[in-house]
Amino acid sequence: MSKTSFQLNARTAQLITSTGLHADGDGLYLQVKNGGRSWVFIYSWDKRRREMGLGSFKSVSLATARESAREARSHLAAGRNPIEVRKAERQALRQAERVETFGAFAETYIDNVEAGWRNPKHRQQWRNSLREHAARLQDIPIAAVSTQDVVECLQPIWLTKPETANRVRGRDRTRNLRSEGFRVAAGGRGQPSAVARTLGCAPAKKVTLSRGHHAAMPYAELPVFMQELEKRSAMSARAMTFLILCAARTGEVLGARWEEITGSEWTVPAARMKTSRPHTVMLSRQALELLQSIKPKKADGFIFHSGRPSAPLSGMSLLMLLRRMGMNHVTSHGFRSAFKDWSANETTHADEVSEEALAHEIGSKVRKAYRRGAALQRRADLMRDWSSFLYPIQLKVELPSEITSP
C-alpha cells in the first residue's frame, strides 16, 4: 500500500466520520468502521498485508498512536514482526503475573493464620514490620529472592534496632513460611531455599553484615538509563520515568489518577500510602512535561493505564519492563535508594527534606516539628535538582496554563 505525505492533526482527526482508512503517514491510519474509530498500523510481512490495531480513538491519542507506529517500524527494520513481538510480550507479562511475589505470599500467609492471634496489635505489627523492613522483597518473585536480598533487608536495623531485626527475622522464618513457602519456592520439598537458610542463620546479636551488591542502580548510571527509557513508547516506560522523577513507590504510581494532580503537586491519598497518611509530591518540570505528553482531552481515570483509563497497568508491568531492558539486578523500589544516596552524597539539601520526599516516618519531636514547619518549596527545590541530575540537558517544551512548573 502506497504511503502518503498527508498528516492528520488532533482537530482534523476528530472531525473525520466517513467510513474507511484515513492516512497519517508511514503506515499509520485512522480506521472508521461500523460507527467506531480506531488506530491501525498497516505493513507488509512475508509479502502479505498485515494490520496491527493500536487502540481506539477515544483512549489513544494521535501522539501515542504515532509513537506505537514508530516502535512497530523499528521492529520491522530489525526483521521482527511487530504483531508477533507484541504477542510475545503479552504472554510473558501474563506468565509473570502468575508468579507469586514475596509480598503477596506474606500477605496470604498472614491472612490464613491471623485468626488465631488474639492481640489485634500483634496482627498489625506483623504486617507493618514485613512491609517496612522487608520492603525491598515485596515485588520480587519468591523463588528469585536471594540470600543477599534478605541480608540487605536486615542489615540496616541490626545495629540500630536489634530487637526489631530479630522479630522481622522470626516472622519471615516462621515454620509454616519456611516449610510450606520457601521450600516450594526452591522447587520442591527438599532443602529450604536461600531465604529460609539466611533467615535461619542470621545473626541474633548486633553485628555488622558485609554489604553486597545493592538491588538498586547506582545513581551515577541513572541519566543514561533515563535516555533509554525515553526511547520506549510503552506506557510502562512512562510510568517508570514518573516513578523515578518522583522517587515514589510502585503502588503509588500505578494507582495514580488524574484528579490527584493539582498544578505542580501530586497528592497521593492515604489509602495508597504505607504510612496511611496522604502525601504530597512536588512535581518537577520534567514530571509535568511527561504528564502533559500523555494527558487526554478528558483527564480522568488512571494516568498510567493498560489501554483503557479505567484499567491501571499490571502490578508486574514495571518489573517486566526492567527485565526486557536487561536489568535483572534492579527493582523499581531500588530507585528510591538511588535518590536517597544522590541527595546525601551530591547535594546540600537537609536529610529531613529527602526523608519527607520519600514519605518516611519521622519520629522524633524535633523532626516532627520540622515537618510541620517545612515549606513545600524546599521539597520542590530538591525534586528540581533531582530532575536536573537525571536530565543534564534541560528539555524545552511549552506547558499549557493548566499545568505549570514549580
373-396 confidence digits (pLDDT tens): 446 889 999 999 999 999 986 444
Higher-confidence position of 361 and 332: 332
Domain holding 195, by residue range, is 102-201
Residue 13 has pLDDT above 80, yes or no: yes
146 belongs to a structural domain? yes
Average pLDDT for 136-161: 64
Instruction: Give the Cα-Cα-Cα angle 51, 17, 1 (nearest 5 degrees).
Output: 30
Shared domain for 171 and 309, answered yes or no, is: no
pLDDT in tens, 339-355: 999 999 999 998 889 98
160 belongs to a structural domain? yes
Q: Out of 50-64, 206-220, 242-256, 386-400, which region has the weakest mean confidence (pLDDT)?
A: 206-220
Residue 391 CB neighbour total at 10 angstroms: 19
Higher-confidence position of 273 and 213: 273
**Overall number of domains in the chain:** 3
Average model confidence (pLDDT) across the chain: 76
Q: Which long-range contacts (CB under 8 A, 24 or more apart) does 55-62 make?
A: 55/307, 57/13, 57/30, 59/296, 59/305, 59/307, 59/308, 59/309, 60/307, 61/10, 61/294, 61/296, 62/8, 62/9, 62/10, 62/13, 62/24
pLDDT in tens, 229-256: 999 989 999 999 999 999 999 989 999 9
The CATH code of the domain that includes 45 is: 3.30.160.390
Instruction: Give the Cα-Cα-Cα angle 157, 163, 164 (nearest 5 degrees).
Output: 55
Most confident of the ranges 53-57, 91-95, 107-111, 274-278: 53-57
Shared domain for 237 and 337, answered yes or no, is: yes
Shared domain for 32 and 168, answered yes or no, is: no
Q: Out of 117-126, 165-174, 226-235, which region has the weakest mean confidence (pLDDT)?
A: 165-174
Shared domain for 290 and 322, answered yes or no, is: yes
With bands split at pLDDT 50, 70 and 90, how would you rate the model's confidence at 175?
very low
With bands split at pLDDT 50, 70 and 90, how would you rate the model's confidence at 148?
low
Shared domain for 88 and 229, answered yes or no, is: no
Higher-confidence position of 257 and 406: 257
**Final residue before a domain boundary, out of 201, 227, 252:** 201
Shared domain for 14 and 153, answered yes or no, is: no
37 belongs to a structural domain? yes
With bands split at pLDDT 50, 70 and 90, how would you rate the model's confidence at 166?
low
Shared domain for 92 and 122, answered yes or no, is: no
351 belongs to a structural domain? yes
With bands split at pLDDT 50, 70 and 90, how would you rate the model's confidence at 143?
low
Shared domain for 57 and 39, answered yes or no, is: yes
Higher-confidence position of 380 and 120: 380
pLDDT of residue 106: 73
With bands split at pLDDT 50, 70 and 90, how would you rate the model's confidence at 330?
confident
405 belongs to a structural domain? no
Higher-confidence position of 147 and 398: 147
211 belongs to a structural domain? no
Shared domain for 288 and 309, answered yes or no, is: yes
212 belongs to a structural domain? no
Shared domain for 295 and 173, answered yes or no, is: no
Residue appearing with cell numbers 488474639: 118
The CATH code of the domain that includes 385 is: 1.10.443.10
Shared domain for 85 and 119, answered yes or no, is: no
The CATH code of the domain that includes 139 is: 1.10.150.130
**Final residue before a domain boundary, out of 40, 63, 97:** 97
pLDDT of residue 167: 52
**Final residue before a domain boundary, out of 97, 113, 133:** 97
pLDDT of residue 380: 93
pLDDT of residue 267: 93
Shared domain for 338 and 233, answered yes or no, is: yes
Average pLDDT for 39-49: 93
396 belongs to a structural domain? no
Q: Out of 78-87, 169-178, 293-302, 353-362, which region has the weakest mean confidence (pLDDT)?
A: 169-178
Largest separation between any pair of C-alpha atoms in the chain: 76
